Structure 1
Amino acid sequence: MSLPNKRRGNRPAGKNYKKYIGNKNEGHGFVNKQRERVSFQYKKLKRKEDRKQEYLARQNQKLPRTEVERFSDFNQNSSHQRNKNFQDKKKHGKHVFQKLQEEADKKKKEAQMKKEELLLKQKEREEALQKYKDRRRENYRKLSKKTKTGQPMMKYQIGFLLDKIEKSIKKT
């Protein structure tokens, strides 16, 4: 007599029956997942760039002209008007590519400035560490001096303690 909810054998039931999708020789389908992920990231980046270009294009478009401007333009001859409009477009703004190029240059400059600051901080830190090590080495050299019989030289010991006391007095 067996219970109805009990599974038989050592085969798992339900969702967990197959752990991997695809052929074992082909990497269980992970290659396909990786390709899909990369293509999704590419499409996402493409959509983002398209939205940015649309936004910049909308910003570049001129606002509608007023009736007075239209009337004054109507009185002038058409060739002069075309030249004027062309020059206005030139003055109005830069092309989308140029704006993107400027943004990229700006980002590069900022990254370079950050890098220089980081290098400067690192150099200062190294110099401070070197100074600290030199001071420690000098103190050790003085404190480890011995007499002929192997006793520590007291003048260096006392001098070191005196310097320590003077520094503590200056701090307070």
Structure 2
Amino acid sequence: MSVMAGWPGPALWLDAGGRVLQANTDAQGLAPGYDGWREELGRWVASGGPLVEATHSVLLEPQWEAPVVEFTAVPLADGGVLCLGRNVTLERRLRNVLAESRQRYKDLVEISSDFAWEVGPDGLFAFVSPAGPSAMRRRSWWAATPRPWSWRSSGMRPCPSTPPCPSSGRRSG
């Protein structure tokens, strides 16, 4: 299969029973000394996994911090499956570290007396700390826009020495 030869990562052709019929060079050199990932991929194919879910991740070593390869399965006309892999180790580790960091930040904000918030890509509040700045219940902030509380719409000035902004939104002077 020319697709396997040109694939920039590990690629395997498995029969319906999960046996490897052909593997490209990257797949042959993947995790030497540990075949558990091939066995797991074979069991997934044999159990009909590719018909339920198009991707499957395997650990390349039997350890917690092991590299991870995600295979995308392409069912073939002969009943076999072409599995095309890509290394997702860095992506997974970064996602985990970012999630942990965000949780630590939220924990810190929860115990802080300061008011903090997070606005999502849609411009709506995604997180509001318990120490909210108004009498509004915290729940009423979810999915609200921060615009009514901005200093521009309230007529407030960010600093007392700052002249008021004209309605165009530009500073005067």
- Normalized per residue, the structure richer in strand is 2
Q: Structure 1 length normalisation: TM-score?
A: 0.23
| Structure with larger Rg | 1
Q: Which has the higher contact order (CA 8 A, sep 6+)?
A: 2
